[in-house]
């Protein structure tokens, strides 16, 4: 297995790298969860939901993944092969920072089952052990208590507050800034 291909399993869920062949699957996930995810994401154009848009995007993401600059991961139900969510790592920087940012989404019907906590833990462990990251940054809107709870369960620690940090659902939103540090980091 390639160092740049993620495939982790935890009981009923699998976490794996998205491929170009996943365009229809991802498009369907976002269509099915359009209204549920709307308050937590940037405004989306109609093209965002089209498989062809996702195919083109996945070609670019594959190249970024191959170069170790970004990772777009899918959370898959082991029994049904249904897509339950996404985890993405961006802004990867090596020496001297060894840091990246993480974002995620989870299907409405997958809420409340601990899926995101388990998947995010697996993903962060991969970024620490295989990509040698020292720090993973995340941000969440203060009223998003579910996201706050997930990040806390995984071990993220609050580091600050950013006013008008991200353009979410057409409005600039405040965010709490958190980070997870790799306590076992070693120089390459």
Residue 2 has pLDDT above 60, yes or no: no
Residue 92 lies in a domain: yes
Q: Is residue 2 part of a domain?
A: no
Residue 155 sits in a domain of what CATH number?
A: 3.40.630.30
pLDDT greater at residue 106 or residue 6: 106
% of the chain at pLDDT higher than 70: 97
**1 located within any domain:** no
In a domain? residue 65: yes
Average pLDDT, integer, range 73-102: 96
pLDDT digits (tens, 9 = 90+) for 120-157: 999 999 999 999 999 999 999 999 999 999 999 999 99
Judge whether residue 111 has pLDDT over 50.
yes
What average pLDDT does the structure give for the chain?
94
Of 100, 69, 67, 81, give the one whose Cα is nearest residue 182.
Answer: 100
Q: State mean pLDDT over 64-78.
A: 94
6: pLDDT strictly greater than 80: no
Residue 83 covered by a domain: yes
Query: Rounded mean pLDDT of 14-39?
Result: 97
Do the domain assignments include residue 130?
A: yes
Determine the structural domain holding residue 105 and report its residue range: 7-181
Count of structural domains, the chain? 1
Residue 27 lies in a domain: yes
Say yes or no to pLDDT of 164 above 90: yes
The reply to whether 90 falls in a domain is yes
Please report where in the chains the tokens 């083109």 appear, as a residue: 56
Strands (E), the chain: 7-10, 13-17, 71-77, 83-93, 99-106, 135-140, 157-168, 171-181
């Amino acid at each position: 297995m390639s160092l740049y291909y993620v495939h982790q399993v935890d009981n009923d869920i699998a976490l794996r790298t998205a491929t170009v062949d996943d365009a229809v699957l991802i498009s369907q996930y976002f269509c099915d969860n359009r209204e549920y995810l709307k308050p937590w994401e940037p405004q989306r154009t109609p093209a965002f939901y089209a498989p062809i848009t996702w195919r083109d995007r996945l070609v670019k993401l594959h190249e970024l993944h191959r170069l170790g600059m970004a990772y777009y991961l899918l959370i898959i139900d082991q029994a049904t092969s249904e897509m339950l969510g996404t985890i993405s790592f961006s802004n990867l920087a090596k020496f001297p920072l060894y840091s990246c940012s993480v974002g995620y989404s989870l299907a409405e019907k997958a809420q409340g089952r601990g899926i995101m906590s388990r998947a995010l833990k697996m993903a962060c462990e991969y970024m620490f052990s295989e990509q040698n990251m020292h720090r993973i940054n995340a941000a969440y809107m203060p009223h998003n208590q579910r996201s706050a709870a997930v990040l806390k369960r995984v071990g993220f620690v609050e580091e600050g507050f950013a006013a008008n940090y991200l353009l979410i659902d057409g409005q600039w939103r405040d965010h709490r800034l958190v980070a997870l540090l790799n306590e076992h980091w070693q120089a390459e």
